[in-house]
Structure 1
Amino acid sequence: MAIITNHMKVMNSALGKIGGGAIMAEDEDTELAAQVVPTYYSRLKSLLGMCEWSFAGRTYKLDAIAKVAENDYDTASMIFNNGWRQAFSLPGTRIGLPRKVLTDPRRPNDPLREYLIEGGVLYADREQVWATVTVMPDPTVWDPQFNLAAEAIVAADLCVPVTHDANLAKDLRQVAEGSAQENGRGGLVGRAITSEAIKARTAAPLWRDPLTDARLR
């Protein structure tokens, strides 16, 4: 029996906006699924990378990379070949670069600023490092404005390959992204970004006590 995932519900909602039918499984052997699934996930990754969405952030403790020659570690000088003492693997499920690199996950407003990222590896002079990254969250935790934007832009992306209706695709894209001058950040996408910015300002700390900060260091 096919499992209807929450991502599929968004896909089918987008298809419904263009009268494109529905899919029953992401891996079903149909031309429609072959068009919908890769287009959906490609667009979703693009949207998630446009903003530090609060619902899509996750903090991980990074795994240290073995200090061996195969990992470009110089045993004699006790540093990696690029001059850093420690190296860490970044989460493979992340989208883009880390939002923040931390030495204490309880202090997200005091990030580590001295580090280097090369080839998907994070180098630092710290024994323990955490990173907050963007992941692909389940649609059940999406902000409603983001959900509307995702459905609309996926519908626009699918309109021509599924229905061959270029005029409808143009109309849907304008609703989703606004005018061409807004570079994909107008329309419903722009509203979602604005909503996220308002939430971020509301969540930001309004006051800090230097004495308390000093004790916690």
Structure 2
Amino acid sequence: MVMTITYELGNALYLNITNRCTNNCSFCVRNSQDGLSQGVNLWLKREPTVEEVMTDVQKWDIDKYQEFVFCGYGEPMMRTYDIIEICKQLKTAYGLPIRINTNGHANLICGRDITPQLTGLVDAVSISMNAKNSKEYQQICLSQYGEKAYDAMLDFTTRCRRHIPRVGLSIVDVMAKDDIQACRKIAEEIGVDFKVRHFVNHN
């Protein structure tokens, strides 16, 4: 099996570096298909090294893209320290903006606040919020950290604001309109962007 480490989506080059995740979300696309676009299988036989990621990036015409995005079939921040190293190399080689799509558990994963280390490397972070409180979050996301995962995600969001230019929370439109509005209010109180993603059922 040939591993898909990098893939195109829109005007961005995406980096798929792990299949591990701290959540097992009920709506996750991994439960219904092998890839995010036709003909691209995002299941990895093993995690690529930093060197393999950079080599894979080099096969593309980078001038075509407007940003790099860490997003694949797993939680990118499972490999926080490798991401930091990859970001350093990407910034040096290409200078393009870098975005991370994440569940916001990085500080739980690492056991400390890692957001200062993202300063100057990460230009945007999109954090999956998915619920208006910790109980509902755990029911939907089935985090390995239990109900404390939700507050940790919001704390990570708040801390990211100090170090990253663009920070946003997102939810999937599988919840009631009142719940969506409650989530929007939380995002506004933190002072970050808010996005409603459309759920596509592939079953």
TM-score, scaled to structure 1: 0.23
Higher helix content, 1 or 2:
1
Output the TM-score relative to the length of structure 2. 0.24
Larger radius of gyration: 1
